[in-house]
Structure 1
Amino acid sequence: MPAPILHLGATMTCLHAGLATPLTPFPRVLVSGQPIVTQSTPYAITGCALAGTSNPPCITAQWVVGAVRVLAGGVPVVLQTSTAVCVPTGTGLLPLVVQPRVMAT
């Protein structure tokens, strides 16, 4: 089923409400005027609610599942339904706000 492609302006959080930001979006493809995100793009996480507890907070995240049929630079693009893993907690990322116009599978 098609899902929206994620881009630099998409609002993402870890499952503990920490803001996730892509470190190296793919600049050659734009959606809504902003670079898209590919599966190889790492995310930095700030403000994870686990900070200040005995558990380590989410620091980075990496996508492990991307689009099957759409590639950018030979790498799958990331969709709203894609799966990511946060380090060191092993939880995922939650896409909250994404662009609605460009879909992929």
Structure 2
Amino acid sequence: MPGFLLNLNSVVICSHGGQAKPTVPNPRVRVMGMPVTTLGPPYVVAGCANPPPPVNVGPCVIGNWVLAALRVKVMGLPVLLQDSQAICVPTGTPLTVVLTQMRVKGM
């Protein structure tokens, strides 16, 4: 499905409210002056409120993207879109894209 591309300024959160940021944004392509993000490098989650063991499995640490653009690639890697899907480790919950740039769409 078409959606807006994610860049370094996009706001992504885990299901428990933790802020997720890309570990390796792609410096070659910029949208709105910021590097885009691609499938492959995970996002790091900070500030997750999920309780640690023995109450629960602990806070989200990393978000691994599993679904990205089908047609748009940067340096051979699919770009992340507003509707891309990720799974957090160790909780197995999804990442949610809250805000992204509104100029460039991909598919």
> What is the aligned length?
105
Gaps spanning 5+ residues in structure 2: where?
Answer: none
- Secondary structure of the residue that 2:12 maps to in structure 1? strand
In the superposition, the TM-score normalised over structure 1's length comes to: 0.95
Moved over 3 A (4+): none
Q: Hey, what does 2:29 align to over in structure 1?
A: 29
- What is the CA distance between 1:41 and its match in structure 2? 2.1
- What is the CA distance between 1:44 and its match in structure 2? 0.6
Gaps spanning 5+ residues in structure 1: where?
Answer: none
In the superposition, the TM-score normalised over structure 2's length comes to: 0.94
Q: Could you tell me how far apart the structure 2 residues matched to 1:62 and 1:84 are?
A: 5
Give deviations 1:79-104, integer Å, cap 9, x for gaps.
00001010001111111110010000
Q: Hey, what does 1:16 align to over in structure 2?
A: 16
- Percent of pairs with identical residues: 45
- What is the CA distance between 1:49 and its match in structure 2? 1.1
Amino acid at match of 2:86: A
Give deviations 1:27-55, integer Å, cap 9, x for gaps.
10000100000001211101111145622
Q: Could you tell me how far apart the structure 1 residues matched to 2:74 and 2:93 are?
A: 26
Q: Could you tell me how far apart the structure 1 residues matched to 2:60 and 2:2 are?
A: 29
User: Where do 1:20-59 residues align within 5 Å?
Assistant: 20-51=20-51, 54-55=55-56, 56-59=58-61
Amino acid at match of 2:23: L
